[in-house]
Amino acid sequence: MRKRVIAGNWKMNMTGTEAKKFLKKIVEKINTDKKEIVLCVPSIDIPIVNNIIKNTKIKLGAENFYFENRGAYTGEISAEMLIDQKVSYVIIGHSERRQIFKETSKMINKKIIKAVEENLIPIICCGETLKQREKKETLSHIKKQIEDAYKGVDEKYVKKTIIAYEPIWAIGTGKTATADEAEDVCSYIRKLIKNLYDEKISQEIRILYGGSVNKNNAKEIFSKENIDGGLIGGASIKEDFIDIVKA
Ligand code: 13P
């Protein structure tokens, strides 16, 4: 049985002050180990959030990091810095990083390799644009993204990695993929992992859906065989997150 993961991606929202106020309202209600609850927060909020959740079952995640150990990389943070602040998960390859900050598949691959080597759990994002979906290029695009992401990733690390399928047209738009559309792509991703590695690993790896998940649609989406939880944006900075965790 794969343990479900409900991860919040706060994106560039929540000052430290706001985070304290928000967490006061939700921490007790999302504190469970029946599912893996992960809060991926802006890097400057990490110590504040850690301080609040450190005696709970909730896990801490970052939204980004850089793959070098240390040095002249102004503005970046390293895996070691995250681990020092009790971070155990990190989002890699989010479409916003790919599109706005021009992260390439090569950089994303390097980040994934660095993360697993440092024992950080990467939440690896993939997903197609609306144009690609309309041109029926969804699966070929996902195949390329997954193959590029896992290039050179040793099989001993793979079952610990998490993949998030996030169709770009569904992010922050209120337009969700139907549960069946999401399931189709997530089951395809599981097949890709089976082809790249083996059946056992493909059955162990967790695959999430992300893109306008809310308290009303979460239950149906999470009920699908190949969807092991969600990566939640907008709804993770509202009390709705409590309902999603319980869905
Ligand atoms: P929304 O839930 O706001 O659509 O964002 C999804 C997302 O990008 C999570 O990483």
Q: What are the tens digits of pLDDT across the range 204-244?
A: 999 999 999 999 999 999 999 999 999 999 999 999 999 99
Whole-number average pLDDT of the chain: 97
Is the CB of 138 inside a 6 Å radius of any atom of ligand 1? no
Average pLDDT over residues 5-23: 98
Angle 133-138-139 from CA coordinates, rounded to 5°: 155
Ligand 1 centre to CA of 233 (Å) is 3
The pLDDT assigned to 175 comes to 84
Is the CB of 176 inside a 6 Å radius of any atom of ligand 1? no
Ligand 1 centre to CA of 212 (Å) is 6
Ligand 1 centre to CA of 71 (Å) is 32
Average pLDDT over residues 38-60: 98
Secondary structure of residue 137 in the 3-state scheme: coil
Ligand 1 centre to CA of 161 (Å) is 19
Ligand 1 centre to CA of 111 (Å) is 21
| CB-based contact 58:23 (threshold 8 Å) | no
Range in 65-69, 151-155, 176-180, 186-190 the model is least confident about: 176-180
Residue 189 has pLDDT above 90, yes or no: yes
5-246 CATH fold: TIM Barrel (3.20.20)
Euclidean distance between CA atoms 149 and 142, whole angstroms = 10
Q: Of ligand 1's atoms, which has the minimum distance to the CA of residue 125? A: 10
Is the CB of 210 inside a 6 Å radius of any atom of ligand 1? yes
Euclidean distance between CA atoms 230 and 233, whole angstroms = 10
- Tell me, letter by letter, the H, E, C secondary structure of 155-181: HHHHCCCEEEECCHHHCCCCCCCCHHH
Provide the annotated active-site residues.
Answer: 94, 166
Q: Which of 71, 82, 125 is nearest to 233 (CA)?
A: 125
Average pLDDT over residues 57-68: 98
| CB-based contact 7:208 (threshold 8 Å) | yes
Average pLDDT over residues 112-116: 98
Angle 161-224-96 from CA coordinates, rounded to 5°: 50
Is the CB of 208 inside a 6 Å radius of any atom of ligand 1? no
Question: What is the best residue among 5, 6, 9, 128 to mutate for testing ligand 1's pocket, by most ligand atoms within 8 Å of CB?
Answer: 9
The pLDDT-based confidence of 1 (bands split at 50, 70, 90) is confident
Please state the domain extents for the chain.
5-246
What does the DSSP assignment read for 53-79?
A: HTTSS-EEEES--BSSSSSS-TT--BH
**Torsion 227-231-234-235 (CA) sign:** positive
Q: Of ligand 1's atoms, which has the minimum distance to the CA of residue 91? A: 10
> Which amino acid belongs to residue 122?
P
Is the CB of 233 inside a 6 Å radius of any atom of ligand 1? yes
Average pLDDT over residues 110-132: 98
Query: What 8-state DSSP symbol labels residue 212?
Result: S
Q: Which of 46, 9, 22 is nearest to 233 (CA)?
A: 9
Residue 176 has pLDDT above 90, yes or no: no
Euclidean distance between CA atoms 202 and 102, whole angstroms = 29
